[in-house]
Structure 1
């Protein structure tokens, strides 16, 4: 459902990216901060309840994205991730011997719950990157950060590979951009946006190489 954002990023490769409509007014920061009481009260919540709330926020974020309310969507996805942080906090406080917090947290979840948590994280970070790519001034550093978080869990995730390449391209790291874009192309060889960015990146690398030769 978020492939349109990646395609939007691809269309803006040759010129400054301009969204279809101006971004909505800045979402009140209380939307993210307001989740803190929930996190603080995590001790009284069950893991299933926290996972359910995270799923609800993720679904609300997806609807905001469909409605082109990108800033609101970002707030919802962050709320979903805060619920998962509250879950890890809850489980890490349970008696678990000398195990580190992450191991204690994993031990406190069923296999189905662990898979649900990972899927929510991947979807939220992918969706956050998609939302950021719709901004008038894109924070490519943050896009890169979110995409790499996805790739830590799903190394073959096409959207994260493609958007990582886009982010590195706009950050001026053309070698890394080419690596991620080629990885994306190996998953979807006919994707025109990936092909276009590979061409743009190779042109940049060729120019850089030519300048280096001229400087010698």
Structure 2
């Protein structure tokens, strides 16, 4: 357990270095490797081969579980950031990874922003506005958050205007 946690931490740190050096594709690979190191260590999940008579995994300490969760959350958050820098952007994945972070850290401003950006590009303007409004509360000076929040609100306003015109024509 300890060895795999240390290896996952090393991969995460290598990913951070790649990301800072402007190599998001390499960084994403390192974050995936870190997550693979952690796969199967989840204390609440049964070991995959236990039903076939394999030994059960040793119990985890609260500190090990906290370390595992922290590394996983950081890797998912960092993966979302990498994906936003890679062409073509896979907004579905950005959303998926950001939501994993938000399950554990509902007030993570970066994950809220990334989930909002992904929702915006997936044309889910209501969800985009919801996530970006929360991110704006946490980071009121962030111009990127404000920009995407304005874009989402503009799209929602245009949609409501079209809807209003459509219904107005139906009842004349």
TM-score, normalised on structure 1? 0.69
1:208 is matched with 159
Hey, what's the Cα distance between the residues in 1 that align with 2:87 and 2:28?
Answer: 15
Partner of 2:170: none
Match for residue 15 of structure 2 among 44, 53, 61? 61
Q: Distance in 2 between matches of 1:137 and 1:211?
A: 30
Contact 1:147 1:164 in 2 (8 A): yes
1:94-173 paired onto structure 2 within 5 Å = 108-173=59-124
Q: Does 1:185 align with 2:136?
A: yes
Is 1:81 the equivalent of 2:32? Answer: no
> Is the CA contact 1:144–1:168 (under 8 Å) kept in the aligned structure 2?
yes
Map of 1:101 onto structure 2: none
- For residues 196 and 164 of structure 1, the distance between their equivalents in structure 2, rounded to whole angstroms, comes to 14
Give CA-to-partner distance per residue, 1:158-199, whole Å, 9 cap, x none: 100011111100100000000001111111122111111111
Q: Look up the match of 1:70.
A: 24
Pairwise CA distance, 1:92: 3.8
Instruction: Name the count of aligned residue pairs.
Output: 160
Q: Deviations over 1:35-89 (max 9, x none)?
A: xxxxxxxxxxxx1001001001101111111121211111110010011004338
Structure 2, gaps ≥5 residues long? 51-55, 168-172
Structure 1: gaps (5+ residues): 1-46, 97-103
Deviations 1:93-134 (A, max 9, x none): 4xx9xxxxxxx97x8211221111111011100110000000
| Alpha-carbon distance in structure 1 between the residues aligned to 2:9 and 2:59 | 19
